[in-house]
Structure 1
Amino acid sequence: MNPATTNPSTTNVEDIPPTRLRLDRALDRLDVVFRGMTARADEAQCDCHWGSEEELALLKIPDVELDPDLLYRTWHACDWTDHGAVLRRVLPQFARALVGGLVEPHQMDEVGRSFSRGHCYRWPVRQSTAVWEFLHAWWAHSLTDPDPVAPVHELLALCTEASGTIGPWLAVWERLDHPVADRHLAEAAAQWEYDLLRDELPWSMWWWEDDDTDAARTELSAWLVRHVPARLQAQDDATEELLHLVRLIGLTGPARYEDPHWPSDRH
């Protein structure tokens, strides 16, 4: 897994991928933009279930680093009076923890919900721009990273939940002509095919209306059907079985279920 930051004393700038340089700049920008942020003075939490008064007080002091457990409890809690203010308080450290692999990959959808609860799109332009640049930089870097800190399919769920849209993230992937990005595409298709063949989005969108979730699922399905076969055949990154499953995602009704390649274990 990649380190949270690049050590200039051991790595030549010329050897650092451009996507990593962009990500480092985005992290540095978060440090600048969110310096001095605090939770609201009247913010409260349950000392039985969340933590102590002393820990809560730390969120009202700017720029004090939190221990990993307190950081987790802070971004993960869903019952803050002002989740946006709390998220702004921890965001520089939180972003570096994400990029540094200190948050479990299976929690990426929960991370996305934390960004969504914070309503980042409503923040002042300087702040919201810094957040979106971080997410886009992390996404672009992960697509070409052979060993990203979180699987790309998990990161897509995070970015979709955080931004409220799936299209821009798929568009970046579509434009990227890179063998590693294609390998991630094969892995993602293998992860998603089971749910998409049941006409379900492969992850939960807790804050979305059903129509919005269906629209995202439809967009993802159509995108896979259009772009997976040619890219994966060219890279030898997909089995014949996976290619048939992706093809089936593009069919509906009896045409899907009566196809000779419909998997027998789905009945």
Structure 2
Amino acid sequence: MHPADHPARRRLSAALDNLAGTFRGVTAHPDEYNCDCHWGSSEELSLLKTPDVELEPDLLRRTWQAVDWTDHAAVLRRILPQFATVLVAGRAEALSGLDEAGYCFARGRWQEWSDDQADAVRDFLHAWWVQSLTDPDAIVPAHEVFLVCAEASGTVGPWLAEWERRTGHLSDRRLAEAAAEWEYELLGDSLPWGVCWYEHDEEEMRAELVRWLLEHATVRLRESGASVDLRHRIRLLGLTEEDRWTDPHWPGHRY
């Protein structure tokens, strides 16, 4: 298969094109303001009020990281096509980190936008998630895409449901990679990423993720070739308190 013919890559490309079309001509609110000392210059602010002008990387980073916009949703709509492209290319992590990228989506309350705009964001997130699970050349690791999607939407359910449907060696390997990244925090009864948006229920997301791993990870981790140690660490999530710590396979984590 030619790289360009990969179905998940085609779907993601179409989702990015749809974002570009849906948000073409959008600008920040005319009265939007941010601090000259801490955010940027008046000339840079004027670019957010000018449609379809590409922002240089550091300005884009400062814009999505800022938490004090008067109309954050409008600012997010202004930068969204370029922002999404940077995310998919793996450049956002180098600039600031993916936790904050998901938080930026959440602050924008994109689910409350017009149907066509909300659908475009939803389609992009789902397309990026599927590509991270099924494309061997995906740039951003699946567990990092997962945290963006979970933080952007405030739920892990749809993303876990998609993972459940996506069976096969590559998706199983992505699961093993994620489990290896997550087991330390999960065994300490914490979510493996920071939940920044106050409306998101961190404990509910952690509990749902643990339930899903206990139900679906055992066989898939074995089939992926994951180590016995990792498989035991996921098994230990089903135990509580002393039963977990005194299990012969407790990894000795200290919190």
| 1:19-58 alignment runs, 5 A limit | 19-58=8-47
Q: Provide structure 1 residue ranges, at least 5 long, that are not aligned to the other structure.
A: 1-10
Structure 2 partner of 1:242: 230
1:146 pairs with 2:131: no
Alignment counterpart, residue 222 of structure 1, candidates 211, 216, 221 = 211
Structure-1 separation of matches of 2:87 and 2:64: 12
1:46 & 1:235 partners in 2: Cα distance? 50
Deviations 1:41-81 (A, max 9, x none): 10001111111100000110111111111111111111100
Distance (Å, rounded) in 1 between the aligned partners of 2:216 and 2:254: 24
2:190 & 2:224 partners in 1: Cα distance? 28
> Aligned equivalents of 1:134 and 1:265: distance in 2?
37
Q: How does 1:68-147 map to 2 (within 5 A)?
A: 68-104=57-93, 107-147=97-137
In structure 2, the CA distance between the partners of 1:69 and 1:262, relative to structure 1 (3 Å rule), is same
**Greater CA drift, 249-258 or 201-210:** 201-210
Structure 2 CA distance for aligned equivalents of residues 68 and 194 of structure 1: 33
- Normalised to the residue count of structure 2, the TM-score between the two structures is 0.95
Counterparts of 2:71 and 2:93 in 1: how far apart (Å)? 25
Give the letter for the 1:79 counterpart.
D
| Cα distance between partner residues in 2 of 1:206 and 1:131 | 20
**C-alpha displacement of 1:230:** 0.4
Contact 2:99–2:148, Cα closer than 8 Å, also in 1: yes
TM-superposed CA distance for 1:147, in Å, is 4.1
User: Residues of 1 paired with 2:125 and 2:76: CA distance?
Assistant: 15
Does residue 260 of structure 1 match 2:248?
yes
Contact persistence 2:6–2:135 (CA under 8 A): no
Matched residues in 1 for 2:166 and 2:48: separation?
Answer: 40
Return 5+ residue gaps in structure 2 as ranges: none
The amino acid that maps onto 2:234 is V
Which of residues 45, 49, 54 in structure 2 aligns to 1:60?
49
Alignment check: 8 A CA contact 2:26 2:52 kept: yes
What displacement does 1:209 show?
5.4
Percent of matched pairs sharing the same residue:
56
Q: Residue 161 of structure 1 aligns with which residue? A: 151
Alpha-carbon distance in 2 for matches of 1:265, 1:45: 44
Could you tell me how far 1:265 is from its partner in structure 2?
A: 4.1
Q: Match for 2:118: what amino acid?
A: S
CA distance in 2 between counterparts of 1:61 and 1:265 reads: 51
Q: Which moved more, 1:185-194 or 1:253-262?
A: 253-262
1:136 & 1:162 partners in 2: Cα distance? 11
8 Å CA contact 2:89, 2:140 repeated in 1: no
Cα deviation 1:7-51 (Å, max 9, x = unaligned): xxxx968x5111111111101101111011000010001111111
Please tell me the root mean square deviation across aligned C-alpha atoms, in Å: 1.7
Aligned to 1:7: none
Deviation string for 1:172-202 (max 9, x for gaps)? 0111112111111111111111111111111
Paired residue type of 2:26: M
Q: 1:122, CA displacement in angstroms?
A: 0.9
- How many Å separate the matches in 1 of 2:199 and 2:242? 28
